[in-house]
């Protein structure tokens, strides 16, 4: 089974990042379509926090057809969390941000390949969540939920042994 993904660049995200991520997903046997750049709803900007409300953006994404994977460079927060790397829901869209996955956010040298690797893991994890896959307790597994770049870098861009067995049966692979 091939997963279809409709990539939407959201905001001033660099084209080469979108291209690299589309290539990554195709490499994992996804069918990928890339749509024209769009802007987040104006109401999503919280000027006091200088962040964007992911709940508001997510609501607009829900109204779109297809398997939406919105990729943005905006700093996202939700009603519950001060910041998020991504948000996804079963049978719904995916929203992922580069903002806190860039090494320079942590005062490190820019590293394009590392950013793409982090984004790939975050996107694959999120897309598999939309397909109903569960979180995994194995910290090396792609399906382990991570909220720090340290944990994200630690996990691998592949399923652990158990997930591989379970998910291959369901038709999913990376
Ligand atoms: Zn696993």
Contact at 8 Å (CB) between 54 and 84? yes
Dist. CA 120 → ligand 1 center (Å): 17
- Residue by residue, pLDDT tens for the chain (174 residues) are 799 999 999 999 999 999 999 999 999 999 999 999 999 999 999 999 999 999 999 999 999 999 999 999 999 999 999 999 999 999 999 999 999 999 999 999 999 999 999 999 999 999 999 999 999 999 999 999 999 999 999 999 999 999 999 998 888 989
The domain tally of the chain equals: 1
In the reported structure, the alpha carbon of residue 125 is separated from the centroid of ligand 1 by a whole-number distance in angstroms of 11
Give residues whose Cβ lies within 5 Å of ion ligand 1. 136, 138, 141, 143, 160, 163
Residue 68's domain comprises 4-134
Is 167 among the domain residues?
A: no
What phi, psi does 143 have (nearest 5°)? -85, 10
In a domain, 164, yes or no: no
CATH code for position 53: 3.40.390.10
Name the burial class of residue 78, with classes exposed (0-12), middle (13-18) and buried (19+) by CB atoms within 10 angstroms of its CB.
middle
């Amino acid at each position: 089974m091939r997963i279809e993904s409709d990539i939407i660049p959201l905001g001033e995200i660099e084209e080469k990042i979108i291209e690299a991520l589309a290539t990554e997903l195709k490499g994992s046997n996804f069918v990928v379509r890339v749509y024209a750049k769009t802007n987040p709803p104006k109401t999503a900007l919280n000027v006091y926090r200088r962040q964007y409300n992911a709940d508001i953006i997510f609501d607009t994404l829900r109204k779109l057809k297809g398997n939406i994977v919105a990729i943005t460079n905006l700093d996202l927060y939700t009603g519950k969390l001060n910041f998020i790397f991504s948000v996804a829901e079963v049978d719904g869209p995916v929203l992922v941000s580069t903002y806190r996955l860039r090494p320079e956010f942590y005062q490190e040298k820019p590293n394009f390949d590392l950013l793409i690797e982090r984004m790939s893991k975050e996107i694959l994890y999120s897309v598999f969540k939309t397909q109903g896959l569960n979180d995994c307790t194995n910290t090396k597994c792609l399906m382990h939920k991570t909220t720090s770049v340290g944990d994200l870098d630690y996990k691998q861009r592949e399923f652990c042994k158990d997930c591989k067995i379970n998910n291959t049966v369901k038709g999913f692979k990376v």
